[in-house]
Structure 1
Amino acid sequence: MTRMTPFSSPLLLGFETMEKTLERVAKSGDGYPPYNIERLRSEEGGHRLRITLAVAGFGESDLEVAIEENQLVVRGRQTDDTEREYLHRGIAARQFQRAFVLADGMRVTGAALRNGLLAIDLDRPEPDRVVRKIDIAVND
């Protein structure tokens, strides 16, 4: 039996990847680390965004920011310090992976770590509006 989805309409051609992306987003449920997404004002036009993740306790070498298949993926890995002897341990060495789906044309322009906050800047320049005429071939 085939499953009917909103993207299975014959009028929506080429949206199969969108359906997979929505399924992937629905599965990501972990709330760690907390983050903000803000729109930044730009004089040049276009859209500028900043994603800020609270990564206290992670250093630059513990973090990785990558783009994988139209996703911005942020990974954090901390290792346990075996030389320390804890009497109480309330701060765990933790790993995380947070993924953000990027629209076509979105670019990561930079990332900075300051005061336990990882800020990742993105932009999407305004696309050129192109109108293309398609010639019709006549076969008699």
Structure 2
Amino acid sequence: MTKLSLGSHPYMLGFEQLERMLERSAKSGNEGYPPFNIEQTSDTSYRITLAVAGFGESDLSITVEDRQLVIRGRQRDDSEQRVFLHRGIAARQFQRSFVLADGVEVGEAVMENGLLHIDLKRAQPETVVQTIKINKG
């Protein structure tokens, strides 16, 4: 059986880049940390919420790289100055990536009670009708 991809489907023209983005997202190494929610807040807006307890604003970075929202967390390891009798809370790094569709823009990011909220907005595309003139050959 032949695998049918978006780029090879006869009615789906120009979707090769979308297929590459999906493959890259699948390989991005997103494990289960940190846990997150995605909610639709209106017909054209979304909110991603990550549980980032223990991280401060300066420990986090949010970037958009080639239509991919990338959230990175890196805590400073200050364990040399501290003596732990038990260490159950690890200072661990993470990177979480989300592929953004064309027209989706990142709005504001807010930290609240150990949760990082990132708002996204999808622009409503205009309906464009274009008439193509047929030339004599």
TM-score by length of 2: 0.89
Alignment of 1:1-140 (within 5 A): 4-7=3-6, 8-27=8-27, 28-41=29-42, 46-81=43-78, 82-139=80-137
Report the alpha carbon displacement of residue 111 of structure 1 after superposing the two structures with TM. Answer: 0.4
Q: Distance in 2 between matches of 1:19 and 1:102?
A: 13
Task: Report the count of equivalent residues.
Answer: 133
Gaps of 5+ in 2: none
Report the alpha carbon displacement of residue 29 of structure 1 after superposing the two structures with TM. Answer: 4.4
SS at match of 1:86: coil
SS at match of 2:116: strand
Q: Distance in 2 between matches of 1:123 and 1:29?
A: 23
Percent of paired sites with the same residue: 58
SS at match of 1:25: helix
Any conservation in 1 of the 2:51–2:114 contact (CA below 8 Å)? Answer: yes
- Note the aligned Cα RMSD (angstroms): 1.6
